Structure 1
Amino acid sequence: MQQNQQNKIQNPETQIPKTPQMNERDFVNDLLTTEKYMTGAYNIALNEASNQTLYQDLATIFKETQDCQRNLYNLMFKNGWYALEQAEQTKVQNSYQQFSGYKNQLPYAVQ
């Protein structure tokens, strides 16, 4: 894994043919996008399910879909097709302080 000048964390990119047809990266990216969409839809279904049996079935499918999404993400990252940007430490600390202050506003202050 390497970090380049733009604070990006990325593995060396696995080269694939650049052709008009979909290649391996295109297919995996399409699958990843679909799995992300599906986990969002299952999340809404879980929130709306009124029947416990249906809720349990949806929860199982949601977990399987989420795991599939994570595996596809890991595959893309491993092949250098997905990059992350390293957050600056001060931004992380500022966000932590901001959201830590919010917990005091909750009716049941979380400690």
Structure 2
Amino acid sequence: MNQTSSKIQNPETAVPKTPQMNERDFLNDQLTTEKYMTASYNIALNEASNQALYQDLATIFKETQDCQRNLYNLMFKNGWYAVEQEQQQKVQQSFQQFSGYKSQLPYTVQ
């Protein structure tokens, strides 16, 4: 049985189609920036050798990640961001695959 995935999306809020940036364009630009910033803060956290600096970066990272999530939620609510619904069978296969990896770890977290 070959099922195709389907989009999960709210009805799209209309925006003017002009050369000027509209609300959707601004939000998309900000979301892209926040994604880039969280990735960069993650690298900085991995490299921080000073504990005080690490704590400050962790706080900023959390705030940036929360901002990114809020922008995503706003875009999804306005129908400007869609996700693909995956088939249950593929989700189950991935779960089984990664569950098998668990037995290869030196210890497991309960």
Cα distance between partner residues in 1 of 2:84 and 2:16: 26
Give the superposed CA RMSD. 1.3
Q: Residue 9 of structure 2 contacts residue 82 of structure 2 at CA under 8 Å; is this kept in 1?
A: yes
Offset from partner CA, 1:33-76 (integer Å, 9 cap, x none): 00000000000000110000000000000000000000000000
Helix, strand or coil: the match of 2:20? coil
5 Å-filtered alignment, 1:20-39, equals 20-39=19-38
What is the TM-score of this pair, normalised by structure 2?
Answer: 0.93
- Paired position in structure 2 for 1:11: 10
Identity of aligned residues (%): 83
Moved over 2 A (4+): none
Q: Post-superposition shift, 1:109?
A: 3.7
Which ranges in structure 1 are unaligned for 5 or more consecutive residues?
Answer: none
| CA shift for structure 1 position 9 | 0.7
Give 1:21 shift. 1.1
TM-score (norm 1): 0.92
- The number of equivalent residue pairs is 107
Q: Name which structure has the greater RCO, CA cutoff 8 Å, separation 6+.
A: 2
- Tell me which amino acid in the other structure corresponds to 1:108: Y
Q: CA deviation at 1:6?
A: 5.7
Cα contact 2:76–2:82 (8 A) shared by 1: yes
CA contact (8 A) 1:28 1:76 kept: yes
Q: Which runs of 5+ in 2 are unaligned?
A: none
Give 1:68-107 correspondences, 5 Å limit.
Answer: 68-107=67-106
